[in-house]
């Protein structure tokens, strides 16, 4: 059997776990936003001291951009897995929005919305790097939705004349709205009602009844 244990690195071992520290830094940014989170906050959140933070992740902006990238990649992977499933469109979209909402409304603590819309949007106007990553992330989600809707159209799940790109725009808009409204403190009931309405509208006349009378809080 091949030796699969890596040779341990030379010097003093790290006192932190890189993945865990990144997640903790992300949560700190997620709560307070980029500008309002200081290196001291990040130090406290990760348990690392500042020199270690700089050595491991560069300065605050580098770390933040890295976290944006990771969030986008993870979201795209989760979406890809879900959209590859051989499930009805309505069910897939329901799971898609429910998964997002679970992320936006954690069990404990204040509602936080989406990491991208909750923290990157405010920086985007003044910071081109953040703006670029944000747009890349958002349009990636939209394209994934469009591919799934195209498949739904090709397989006869929605009307043959439906425009996948147009419907993906609406489906994305609902996601953006959930992200904003969740962080704004809107109720879970109201957000779920929006999800129901959106799915009814997107999935077409077969589901039109739901679109008309989704329960509202």
Partner DNA sequence: AGTGTTTTGTACCATATTGAACAATATTTA
Partner DNA sequence: TAAATATTGTTCAATATGGTACAAAACACT
CA distance 196 to 212: 10
Report the C-alpha gap between 147 and 19 in whole angstroms: 31
Q: Which residue, 1 or 184, has its beta carbon nearer to its own copies?
A: 184
Applying CB under 8 A, does 44 fall inside the site for its own copies? no
Continuous H helices in 85-187: 89-104, 115, 121-124, 128-154, 164-183
Helix axes 60-84, 89-104, angle to 10 degrees: 150
Out of 23, 39, 78, 162, the residue judged to bind its own copies by CB under 8 A: 162
Q: Which does 26 bind (CB under 5 to 8 A by kind): its own copies, DNA, none?
A: none
Among residues 11, 148, 166, 180, the alpha carbon closest in space to that of 82 is found at 148
Name the DSSP class of 206: G
Selected from 26, 53, 113, 149, the binder of its own copies by CB under 8 A is 113
CA torsion through residues 75, 76, 78, 83, sign? positive
Q: How far apart are CA 56 and CA 15, in angstroms?
A: 12
The least distance separating its own copies from the CB of residue 184, rounded to whole angstroms, comes to 4
Tell me how far apart the alpha carbons of residues 178 and 191 are, in angstroms, rounded to a whole number.
6
| Partner whose binding site includes residue 48, from its own copies, DNA, none (CB under 5 to 8 Å by kind) | DNA
Q: Which of 24, 45, 63, 111 binds its own copies (CB under 8 A)?
A: 111
The distance of closest approach from Cβ of residue 76 to its own copies in the complex, given in angstroms and rounded to an integer, is 16
Q: Name which of residues 3 to 22 contact its own copies (CB under 8 A).
A: none
56 contact, one of its own copies, DNA, none, CB 5-8 Å limit per kind: DNA
Stretch that binds its own copies, among 61-69, 83-91, 93-101, 104-112 (CB under 8 A): 104-112
Task: Sort 181 into a burial class: Cβ within 10 Å, 0-12 / 13-18 / 19+.
Answer: middle
Q: Which residues bind DNA (CB under 7 A)?
A: 7-16, 38-40, 48-52, 54-56, 59-60
- Other C-beta atoms lying within 10 Å of the C-beta of residue 161: 6
Nearer to its own copies, 57 or 186 (CB): 186
**102 forms part of the interface with its own copies (CB under 8 A):** no
Residues engaged in binding its own copies (CB under 8 A): 30-36, 110-113, 117-126, 131-132, 134-135, 138-139, 161-163, 165-167, 169-170, 172-174, 176-177, 179-181, 183-186, 193-194, 197-198, 201, 211-214, 216
């Amino acid at each position: 059997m091949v030796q699969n244990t890596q040779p341990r690195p030379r010097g003093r071992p790290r006192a932190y776990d890189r993945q865990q520290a990144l997640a903790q830094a992300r949560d700190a940014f997620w709560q307070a936003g980029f500008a309002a989170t200081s290196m001291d906050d990040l130090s406290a959140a990760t348990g690392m001291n500042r020199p270690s933070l700089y050595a491991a992740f560069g300065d605050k902006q580098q770390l933040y951009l890295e976290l944006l990238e990771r969030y986008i990649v993870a979201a795209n992977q989760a979406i890809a897995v879900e959209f590859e499933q051989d499930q009805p469109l309505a069910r897939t979209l329901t799971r898609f929005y429910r998964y997002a909402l679970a992320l936006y409304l954690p069990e404990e603590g204040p509602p936080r919305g989406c990491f991208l819309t909750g923290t990157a949007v405010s920086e985007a106007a003044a910071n081109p790097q953040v703006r670029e990553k944000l747009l890349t992330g958002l349009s990636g989600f939209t394209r994934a939705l469009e591919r799934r809707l195209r498949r739904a159209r090709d397989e006869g799940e929605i009307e043959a004349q439906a425009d996948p790109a147009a419907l993906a725009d609406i489906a994305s808009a609902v996601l953006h709205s959930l992200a904003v409204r969740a962080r704004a403190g809107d109720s879970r009931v109201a957000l779920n009602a929006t999800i129901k309405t959106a799915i009814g509208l997107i999935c077409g006349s077969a589901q039109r009844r739901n679109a008309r009378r989704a329960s509202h809080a």
